[in-house]
A and B are shown apart, each in its own frame.
Chain A
């Protein structure tokens, strides 16, 4: 038995969102009578942290404590329209919509406070702790709860805002095809170290090193969680998962999670991540989106590492032990490529 070590590299420019129809998302923000704020979305949080990030964005824009913001993503009947949770678009598209909605609500909140304090709204600021005060005179202040109560019961106004984000339309140049399909890219580079058993074709992934440029990491723990879980999914797609193990034949498809293979907890790959922050101009507080791209570069990096280890180039997924072993047999044995230090 010989175990061959291999290293593979891949990098990615990942477009955030899509171009189709301007890829819009909407948000509605309103205050409750006691000065809490509701953010209504129909964007779905499927575990990636949409609720946490939009809550932070709303809190930052409104100038109110994050504890006083609630995000309701429950229902596409009652929430304003969203194109969906895909294409790593949530933070960017929905976040921008939330900023616009929250900014409008803040404007009304400041006007309501100004009426109570008998000053100009432009002279007011929030302290982020639940108070609105006159700039340079912190003692002349009103709580946001008092402001909301006054707006609701005295002034007869709502503290609310509407927001939509739509990317600028970009038609293709009929002569050249030139267009700007997306406005914002995230980037990553990733190195996979693995071992190939040349008698069985089995691949063991030993280590992943990656650098991700995702704009500002609005919630660093959520970003890390996405990148670690996503890399696992990338390894899974690269080496395990398929509904058609004999593609293009359709037979012997898996029928449960025992036969639809995914790496188990005994196959955790240590993953060192460097998150680089280059805030994007049109992104909410600079945050792009680490969604899909956290899995994608793992696939070519694994394929490249297998080639580096045994000289077998697999060009469709998953790269099963059988494909590796057949490749080794067809070329008359493992052919380790240059060692990359």
Chain B
């Protein structure tokens, strides 16, 4: 049996979180666990007022943690994230799944987190504390409190690329997903479902720092699995993922082939 406690604000809900409780966002993770009979928690904590806004912030664009994938799709400021949001679930899931929840979505989910990693997003807790998404993801299993928002820089729509490799079309979960922010000098390339959490491909980033051209693409593809830890799952083996990651990165960099 699960108890449900609703607090007026996310900050108050965060203060009420304790061992054996889970914060309910869009429900796609927590309610699934409830239905499954997950015994690791017996209390759901939720907030009546949640942050579902998209707006300007000193560091770029602030996306409230309760912003859904559908909300992103209707936010003109976030046009570069539209392909990412559109790749997640069918319409019903997109009306429910939130940006905050996606940061905690385990493989093969979490494609938005991959994009946010490539964007060097900042994760802001309801306490006001903020940290880079990379360190947040690395330690997310021990995260304390509730994510209040993420802040993403404004990026050139053409410099930001995203590709989700699914076997089921138009929608399926990721064999892998790749996001790249190809800004000059300091590019970011992030892979989803190629490690326990979304992870940067530092070898590829190094190769692309000199710019995106035929030789840097070749070098980036050759080095792209450096530091990744692909695993076997129902969708593909670690071997297959490592074999095709360079192929899909190449296609992303060349803007080639169907997404």
Interface residues, chain A, with chain B CB atoms under 8 Å away: 1, 199-202, 240, 245-246, 251-255, 258-267, 320-322, 325
What CA separation (Å) do A110 and B110 show in the bound complex?
70
With A199-B244, A201-B244 already in contact, 13 other A-B pairs whose C-beta atoms are closer than 8 Å: A1-B251, A200-B247, A246-B232, A252-B232, A253-B234, A259-B108, A259-B235, A261-B234, A263-B168, A263-B169, A264-B171, A266-B169, A266-B171
Nearest-CB distance from B229 to chain A (Å)?
16
| Structural contact, A261 and B171, CB atoms closer than 8 A | no
What CA separation (Å) do A251 and B234 show in the bound complex?
9
A325 and B237 contact, Cβ closer than 8 Å, known pairs A252-B232, A258-B173, A264-B170: no
| Structural contact, A322 and B169, CB atoms closer than 8 A | no
B139 at the interface (CB under 8 A from A): no
| Structural contact, B234 and A240, CB atoms closer than 8 A | no
What CA separation (Å) do A60 and B109 show in the bound complex?
55
Q: Tell which of A200, A251, A255, A265 touches B170, judged by Cβ atoms closer than 8 Å.
A: A265
| Structural contact, B240 and A322, CB atoms closer than 8 A | yes
Q: Tell which of A199, A261, A320 touches B172, judged by Cβ atoms closer than 8 Å.
A: A261
Q: Which residues of B contact A199 (CB under 8 A)?
A: 244, 247
Q: Which residues of B contact A320 (CB under 8 A)?
A: 236
| Structural contact, B168 and A245, CB atoms closer than 8 A | no
| Structural contact, B232 and A262, CB atoms closer than 8 A | no
| Structural contact, A322 and B239, CB atoms closer than 8 A | yes
| Structural contact, B167 and A240, CB atoms closer than 8 A | yes
| Structural contact, B234 and A259, CB atoms closer than 8 A | yes
What CA separation (Å) do A260 and B173 show in the bound complex?
10
Q: Which residues of B contact A252 (CB under 8 A)?
A: 232-234
A259 and B173 contact, Cβ closer than 8 Å, known pairs A1-B251, A200-B247, A252-B232: yes
- Main secondary structure on chain A at its contact with chain B? loop
User: Can you list 11 pairs linking A and B with CB atoms under 8 Å apart?
Assistant: A200-B244, A252-B234, A259-B108, A259-B233, A261-B172, A263-B169, A264-B168, A266-B168, A321-B240, A321-B244, A325-B244
What CA separation (Å) do A60 and B247 show in the bound complex?
61
Count contacts on B: residues with CB < 8 A to the other chain: 23
Q: Which residues of A contact B256 (CB under 8 A)?
A: 1
> What is the 8 Å Cβ interface bit string for chain B, positions 234-257, against chain A (1 contact, 0 not)?
111101100110011001000011
Q: Which residues of B contact A261 (CB under 8 A)?
A: 167-168, 172, 234-235
Nearest-CB distance from A97 to chain B (Å)?
41
| Structural contact, A1 and B235, CB atoms closer than 8 A | no
Q: Which residues of B contact A245 (CB under 8 A)?
A: 234-235
- Chain B, Cβ-Cβ closest to A3: B257
Q: Which residues of B contact A246 (CB under 8 A)?
A: 232, 237
What CA separation (Å) do A207 and B168 show in the bound complex?
17
Nearest-CB distance from B100 to chain A (Å)?
21
What CA separation (Å) do A201 and B240 show in the bound complex?
10
What CA separation (Å) do A251 and B170 show in the bound complex?
27
| Interface of chain B residues 88 through 110 with chain A (CB within 8 A) | 108
| Structural contact, A251 and B167, CB atoms closer than 8 A | no
- Chain B, Cβ-Cβ closest to A239: B167
A322 and B236 contact, Cβ closer than 8 Å, known pairs A199-B244, A200-B247, A258-B172: yes
| Structural contact, A254 and B234, CB atoms closer than 8 A | yes
Q: Which residues of A contact B171 (CB under 8 A)?
A: 264, 266
| Structural contact, B240 and A325, CB atoms closer than 8 A | yes
Q: Tell which of A202, A255, A265, A325 touches B234, judged by Cβ atoms closer than 8 Å.
A: A255
Nearest-CB distance from A201 to chain B (Å)?
8
Q: Which residues of A contact B257 (CB under 8 A)?
A: 1
Q: Which residues of B contact A259 (CB under 8 A)?
A: 108, 173, 233-235
